[in-house]
Amino acid sequence: MKLKRICLPLLASLFLLHPLAGLAADEAVLVEVPYPDVEELDPRVRRIVEPAIDYFKRMQPVLSDVELGRAYGRMGLVFQAFRMQEAAGASHRNAMALDPTNPRWHYFVAIYSEETGNLEGALALYRTVLAMAPDYPNTLLRIGRVSLEAGKLADASEAFEALLEKQPDLAAPALAGLGTIALQEKRLEEGVDLLERALVLQPQATQLHYRLAQAYRQLGDTDKAREHLEKRGDRIAWAPDPWVEEMKARARHPSYYVQQGIEAVKQGEMERAAMHLDLALALDPENVEALTRMAVLIGLNARREDAEYLISQALRLDPDHGLANSLQGALLAERRQFKEAQAFYFRAVNAEPENFEFRVQFANGLMRLNDFEAAAQQYAEALRLEPENASTRYGHAVALTLGGNCAAALQTIERGVQANPRVALTLNARARLYATCPDANESQRRLALEDAQLLYDQRPNGNHAETVAMAMAANGRFDEAMDYQGQAIFEAIKNGDTAAQQGMRENMQRYEARSLASAAWPELVSQ
């Protein structure tokens, strides 16, 4: 396949050297729009772009200048939403030429200029916007930022000062800009003060930590510099741009494709899911949601290293992202780095306290670290979110038991059985607790034996055999307990479950000595 290009180069960039040239419609010189080759586009993108072009072409002959300008502008928004920059730039330039009193098109052409490296052109256009509409949103901020990038510190300073005065809600980016200028001009203490004020207003603007670190380094305080380096991130002090948001709304936002990907996973259509997520990442390579979902997908395909890398990318972009932390924890746990995993599980829970899976994952991690009390608390939190989840109920009971609170374990498991009387997992747990808890009465011990035998009859496996043995012993039938325990040990040997064998053998000795089982889950105690 030969490489194909989708857009023609524009004469637009030449025009941008004289950004005011298109103000009057009768002087307007329109440029050719380099329409994308829709055949090359992904079908989902094509479904949005193609009608926009068709509609424009249909209406083009019948519209007046101003209306045609607006039509160009609207089509440009669709192009811009899919980052078809050259097509968008040309459309907006034509819109600017035909509808010259509308500052919006000037604003979008300025963004185009900015993004294609024409900083001077962008600045001139932003100033035009301000001349037309002095309070046009975000324009002062953009002038400040672009002037700073262009090394025009005085202009930048003026813009940020004006922004600070006119729009107190944008104080954080304004202070960040002024702080940066101060540092560049070696007014270090003043710069530090401004940046720290910006950080107070927008603590999530982690990028400012790097500037502060460099400032403190130059001031000779390397400890403070290192402190800030530890906190540095990629988030800038910024403000939402309503016009860019509107532009994005013209297309499917990346989150739409992420959602499609999630749905496809639910339906087991992994290939389709991958396509959706790829598209989301194409539209927004730093979409953390897409990165993490993609990590799950490729992790399922056993490409662990790739998955791990995507997760690290996601965490770099958003260290507090719930799923990314959860996945990172799972990867570490897979490598038996349980303690390290726990820190990520903790962050996942903090990020999304109402996420049931994260709670359970965190609780399971605590169990691995033998912190039964904390695990029980987390299982309880998870049960608050999903009270009927049998395996969580089971986990809660196990955690309480191992934490020495058999009575509470019995309570929780009773609730589980009430909610789901036919679930083997909770019935089995209740039987074991009745058989081993010192607080259990005689009728509960009898019930334990009934349940255990019923479970064993339905599924005669090692686990159920061990439960029957416990219940038999609890009811004084030690010889039968030994028979069942022997069977349970045999099954464990057959399955290669060496971890369980030790506790089982100890219980066997106890039955031989006419004693009750040591614990409901001896394998966990002996670990």
User: For another protein, which residue of 225, 265, 327, 472 counts as binding (CB under 8 A)?
Assistant: 225
At its nearest, how many Å lie between another protein and the CB of residue 84? 5
The answer to the question of residue 101 lying near another protein (CB under 8 A) is no
Amino acid identity at 15 = F
Burial label, 325 (beta-carbon count in 10 A; 0-12, 13-18, 19+): buried
Instruction: Give whichever of 120 and 320 is closer to another protein, judged by the CB atom.
Output: 120
Instruction: Give whichever of 6 and 385 is closer to another protein, judged by the CB atom.
Output: 6
- The CA dihedral of 384, 389, 390, 393, to the nearest 10 degrees, is -20
The answer to the question of residue 331 lying near another protein (CB under 8 A) is no
Amino acid identity at 500 = A
The answer to the question of residue 513 lying near another protein (CB under 8 A) is no
Residue reference for tokens 């900083």: 119
Instruction: Give whichever of 232 and 415 is closer to another protein, judged by the CB atom.
Output: 232
How many residues make contact with another protein (CB under 8 A)?
64
The answer to the question of residue 204 lying near another protein (CB under 8 A) is no
Q: How far out from the chain centre does Cα 325 lie? A: 8
Cα 463 from Cα 475, distance rounded (Å) = 19
Cα dihedral sign, 506-509-511-516: negative
The answer to the question of residue 220 lying near another protein (CB under 8 A) is no
Of 35-43, 103-111, 167-175, 339-347, the window that binds another protein (rule: CB under 8 A) is 35-43
Rounded (5°) CA angle 399-401-403:
70
The answer to the question of residue 1 lying near another protein (CB under 8 A) is yes
Are the C-beta atoms of residues 395 and 372 closer than 8 Å to each other? no
The answer to the question of residue 209 lying near another protein (CB under 8 A) is yes
Site string for another protein, 119-148 (x = CB under 8 A): xx---------------------------x
At its nearest, how many Å lie between another protein and the CB of residue 468? 50
Cα 430 from Cα 396, distance rounded (Å) = 12
The answer to the question of residue 180 lying near another protein (CB under 8 A) is yes
Q: How far out from the chain centre does Cα 310 lie? A: 12
Q: Is 3 left (phi over 0), alpha (psi -120 to 50) or beta?
A: beta
End-to-end Cα distance, the chain = 60
User: For another protein, which residue of 110, 213, 330, 383 counts as binding (CB under 8 A)?
Assistant: 213
Those residues whose C-beta lies under 8 Å from the C-beta of residue 372, and which sit 6 or more positions away, are: 366, 399, 400, 402, 403
Cα 243 from Cα 220, distance rounded (Å) = 43
Instruction: Give whichever of 185 and 388 is closer to another protein, judged by the CB atom.
Output: 185
Coil, strand or helix: which one is 370? coil
User: For another protein, which residue of 21, 23, 44, 386 counts as binding (CB under 8 A)?
Assistant: 44
Site string for another protein, 288-317 (x = CB under 8 A): ---------------x-xx-xx---x----
Instruction: Give whichever of 119 and 262 is closer to another protein, judged by the CB atom.
Output: 119
Instruction: Give whichever of 84 and 327 is closer to another protein, judged by the CB atom.
Output: 84
Nearest to 111 by CA among 136, 88, 78, 131: 88
User: For another protein, which residue of 75, 86, 121, 247 counts as binding (CB under 8 A)?
Assistant: 86
Tokens at 20, concatenated: 């005011």
Instruction: Give whichever of 251 and 524 is closer to another protein, judged by the CB atom.
Output: 251
Of 32-40, 263-271, 363-371, 465-473, the window that binds another protein (rule: CB under 8 A) is 32-40
Site residues (vs another protein, CB under 8 A): 1-10, 13, 34, 36-37, 40-42, 44-46, 82-86, 115-120, 148-151, 180, 184, 207-211, 213-214, 217-218, 222, 225-226, 229, 232, 234, 236, 278-279, 282-283, 285, 303, 305-306, 308-309, 313
